[in-house]
Amino acid sequence: AQTVTQSQPEMSVQEAETVTLSCTYDTSENNYYLFWYKQPPSRQMILVIRQEAYKQQNATENRFSVNFQKAAKSFSLKISDSQLGDTAMYFCAFMKLYDKVIFGPGTSLSVIP
Partner 1 sequence: DTGVSQNPRHKITKRGQNVTFRCDPISEHNRLYWYRQTLGQGPEFLTYFQNEAQLEKSRLLSDRFSAERPKGSFSTLEIQRTEQGDSAMYLCASSRRTSGGGLEETQYFGPGTRLLVL
CB nearer partner 1, residue 43 or residue 110: 43
Closest CA to 49 of 21, 26, 25, 72: 21
Q: Is-contact 101 3, C-beta < 8 A?
A: no
CB nearer partner 1, residue 26 or residue 105: 105
Closest CA to 38 of 83, 72, 98: 83
Q: Is 95 in the site for partner 1 (CB under 8 A)?
A: yes
Q: Is 3 in the site for partner 1 (CB under 8 A)?
A: no
Q: Name the phi and psi angles at 84, rounded to 5.
A: -60, -35
Q: Is 104 in the site for partner 1 (CB under 8 A)?
A: yes
Q: Is-contact 25 2, C-beta < 8 A?
A: yes
Burial, 73: exposed, middle or buried (Cβ in 10 Å; 0-12, 13-18, 19+)? middle
CB nearer partner 1, residue 16 or residue 45: 45
Quick note: the x/- pattern for partner 1 over 36-55, rule CB under 8 A, is -x-----xxxxx--x-x---
Q: How far is the CB of 38 from partner 1 (least distance, A)?
A: 11
Provide the binding-site residues for partner 1, judged by CB under 8 A: 4, 31, 33, 35, 37, 43-47, 50, 52, 91, 93, 95, 97-98, 100-106
